[in-house]
A = this chain, B = another copy of it.
Amino acid sequence: MPRQVDHVQRRSEISAALWQVVSESGLEGLTLRSVAATAGCTTGMVTHYFRDKKALLAHARSVMHRRMADRIDAMPLRHSDPRAHLYAVAEQALPLDEERHLEAVVWSSFLLTTRTDQELLREHSVSHASWVRRLTTLVRAALPGEPEPGNLEERVRALVVCLDGLALNAVTDPDAYPPDLQRRVLERQLDLILEGNRTL
């Protein structure tokens, strides 16, 4: 099936070019033309796979999510230490290295497009809800007792927004939020949302 392989290969090349464009100039530099130029093909070839700029945006975000999910799925389960497992998963959302910094740039740039685009907002809502569910399972496993549902939700949201705020600040001003500070704040936040259970 040489043609099928060509298709997959070509789509993957365009996807890689798209990611490279975002890396170099952010979502604001992402156009059909810039992707074509980077991939060394025509704009028509790009539109064969991605019909418009919105499709490029959605693809950049889905690649970002897949990368993160792949890293998490590749982790060994650490039933013996649920807090360490929670930390390891949560940390995947922080721009602690070059790869995750780029992902955070795509994530934060994409977020602002949702304000004026219902379709992209739906994509965001679905994946955000799935992230919240994933963390809820892990937080519940790491808590010593069983909190009541509203209380558990508040703890999880406190973790989710902490990760988002850290990522946003680290993307905005990397010098003010270096990896070491991000890690310390995340550890502190886990202390807080897990230790807080003692007062239940």
Contact = CB atoms under 8 A, between A and B. Distances in A.
A195 B194 CA distance: 13
B158 A185 contact: yes
Contacts of A157: 181, 185, 188
Contacts of A155: 188
A194 to B, nearest CB: 10
Given A124-B173, A165-B164, A188 B158 contact: yes
A196 interface: yes
Contacts of A171: 111, 115
A128 B164 CA distance: 16
Nearest to A156: B185
From DSSP, what is the main secondary structure of chain A's interface residues?
helix
A144 B125 CA distance: 40
Contact of A173 (B25, B114, B162, B168): B114
Interface string A123-138: 0110011000000000
A112 interface: yes
* Count of identical protomers in the assembly: 2
A26 to B, nearest CB: 6
Contacts of A16: none
A186 to B, nearest CB: 9
Contacts of A173: 114, 121, 124-125, 128
Contacts of A109: 112
A189 B125 contact: no
A119 B164 CA distance: 24
A36 interface: no
Interface in A170-195: 171-173, 176, 181, 184-185, 188-189, 191-193, 195
Given A158-B162, A158-B188, A161-B165, 6 more contacts: A114-B173, A128-B169, A160-B165, A161-B169, A164-B168, A195-B196
